[in-house]
Amino acid sequence: MTIAVTAASGNLGPLVVDELLERGVRPSQLVAVVRDLAKADEMATQGVTVRQGNYDNPPSMIAALEGVDRVLIISGSEVGRRVRQHANAIDAARDAGVRLIAYTSVLRAGEATVNPLLEEHVGTERYLEDSGVPFVMLRNGFYTENYVPQARRALSSGELLTSAGDGRTASATRRDFAAAAAAVLTTPGHEGKRYELAGDSGWTMHDLAEVIGRIGARQVHVRQVDAPAHLEALLGAGVPEPFAEMVVRIDQSVRAGELDVAGDDLARLAGRPTTPLEPGLPLAMS
């Protein structure tokens, strides 16, 4: 069986490749699909087959997935263009004869309403469902690593600005999510499943501030505001409007409970407890 990982030179892809190798998959059975071959030198030296493939170039994706049995399609980062890009990758997998597609979606894609990341993931899920290829939806919650820039700003200013209220985020590390993806790609019985992947326990912004304070050995104050004031503060600090709006909407999603604990799918698939915030954030910042 040959397994491919797309976007394999990004933040998540190399960790999935590592997890697959740790699970006993031979390098010769792995295909790393990347835009830039130079960014996959380390995987190539491990014996992993590296192929160039671009979501915006369907023929390149078909060639990259030739002879592949299972593929993990890691969602792209170009907001506003991702449904078309993901559809190109799905079509390429189908045309190449891939027998299982796993896709990194977003937590609670079937029920959440506030998360600004929902629309493109839901659109991709629908396209994949209609493709005729057996699928697995890996509905990933938030990566602890996502909070590194915010943590560094809080360490500098002593303030953590938020409009999330007492909402909780059940984050986990990218390594945790990579382990779950590797399990799905290497074991049977996952076809048609929609896994809600989140950390074992949720944390509030007050918890985050305490952890950041311990990392930097200084007090970090939480400044709770409403959504309009949050947006105004971000714009006043020079944050570009589209990104500022997304940050505020994510906080509203947290407030609504859309990123909290969603069961034990992640720990069960990974085969271990998820990494708590306390050790996960310092590791991500190191």
Give me the domain span that covers residue 69.
Answer: 3-141+172-198+261-274
Its pTM surpasses 0.85: yes
User: Is there a domain that residue 46 lies in?
Assistant: yes
What pLDDT does 266 receive? Answer: 98
User: Is there a domain that residue 43 lies in?
Assistant: yes
Q: How many CB atoms lie within 10 A of CB 114?
A: 16
Q: How far is 123 from 91, CA to CA, in rounded Å?
A: 14
Residue 42 belongs to a domain with what CATH number?
3.40.50.720
User: Is there a domain that residue 109 lies in?
Assistant: yes
Q: How far is 4 from 8, CA to CA, in rounded Å?
A: 9
User: Is there a domain that residue 69 lies in?
Assistant: yes
Q: Characterize 225-250 residue by residue with b for buried, 16 or more Cβ atoms within 10 angstroms of its Cβ, and e for exposed.
A: eeeeebbebbeeeeeeeeebbbbbbb
User: What is the tally of structural domains in the chain?
Assistant: 1
118, amino acid identity = L
What pLDDT does 283 receive? Answer: 85
What pLDDT does 286 receive? Answer: 81
User: Is there a domain that residue 75 lies in?
Assistant: yes
User: Is there a domain that residue 95 lies in?
Assistant: yes
> 241-286: per-residue pLDDT in tens?
999 999 999 999 999 999 999 899 999 999 999 999 999 999 888 8
User: Is there a domain that residue 106 lies in?
Assistant: yes
User: Is there a domain that residue 235 lies in?
Assistant: no
Helices 148-157 and 277-285: crossing angle in degrees, nearest 10, is 80
**Ranges of the chain whose pLDDT falls below 50:** none
Contacts of 87 (CB under 8 A, 6+ apart): 124, 127
